[in-house]
Amino acid sequence: GPEKQFVTDDGTKTLWVVFVVMVIASAVFSALSWRVPVQRRLYHVITTLITITAAISYFAMATGHGVSVHTVKVRHQNDHVPDTFTEVHRQVFWARYVDWSLTTPLLLLDLSLLAGLNGAHILIAIVADIIMILTGLFAAFGSESTPQKWGWYAIACIAYLVVIWHLAVNGRAQAQAKSQKVSSFFVAIAGFTLVVWTAYPIVWGIADGSRKLSVDGEIIAYAVLDILAKPIFGIWLLLTHARIPETNIDL
């Protein structure tokens, strides 16, 4: 019969743990917004929306929603019988892509406002980011043929390079123009973001991509990354920006 790559009880427990972490983070971030005047709460609003979205997505995954089984035919090398295949049935948690398509633009908005990027640059970074997530979704599903799958993956990686370019080059230049304090904070938190985000396509490559990592292993890897990229990033941003008046936003 087909090889089955499915979540087990341990994976489901991990999903529940992350759900709870995201709910707590959302409560803490909204509580923190009371410490600043109402005109200065945009970072709190954005960052709370990020963890609320993640909490909803983890609730879906923990209760068995936002997931579907993907069937892949794997061809075997066999000199005597041409075209021997086995089937792999693997669960793909598409709820992640719904989460990422909302939360990664919001994370970029946080960083863009911190740096003081202009509207055109923010728009390019966010559109490239959405293209990255949607083509990543195509890579996960449109993959009866391997070249097609890695083709989508390559397109997503190019879009990711556009995102990085905007942060590393334009974002840094704008932050520098604001002040030394803003600049060093931006370099630190954008550098952290770059390292954490770059781990996602690596995990994808060994999980959904080549199916070497089990579904439980994939859940654990993304759990660690999601906690770093959302609650840890968020608490760092909210506590630090409050001490740097130049990061205030005039809207």
Which residues bind to ligand RET, rule: CB under 6 A?
100, 103-104, 132-133, 136, 139, 153, 156-157, 160, 197, 200-201, 204, 226, 229-230
The sign of the CA dihedral 154, 155, 158, 164 is negative
DSSP-derived letter for residue 240 is H
Closest approach of ligand RET to the CB of residue 18, in Å: 11
Nearer to ligand RET, 36 or 165 (CB): 165
Which residue, judged by CB position, is nearest to ligand RET in the bound state?
A: 136
Nearer to ligand RET, 117 or 196 (CB): 196
Closest approach of ligand RET to the CB of residue 86, in Å: 25
Closest approach of ligand RET to the CB of residue 1, in Å: 29
Pairing of β 68-76 and β 3-5: unpaired
Nearer to ligand RET, 80 or 198 (CB): 198
Nearer to ligand RET, 110 or 216 (CB): 110
Nearer to ligand RET, 225 or 244 (CB): 225
**Is residue 243 within 8 Å of residue 34, measured between CB atoms?**
no
Give me the amino acid identity at 217. G
Closest approach of ligand RET to the CB of residue 78, in Å: 32
**Is residue 186 within 8 Å of residue 166, measured between CB atoms?**
no
Closest approach of ligand RET to the CB of residue 71, in Å: 20
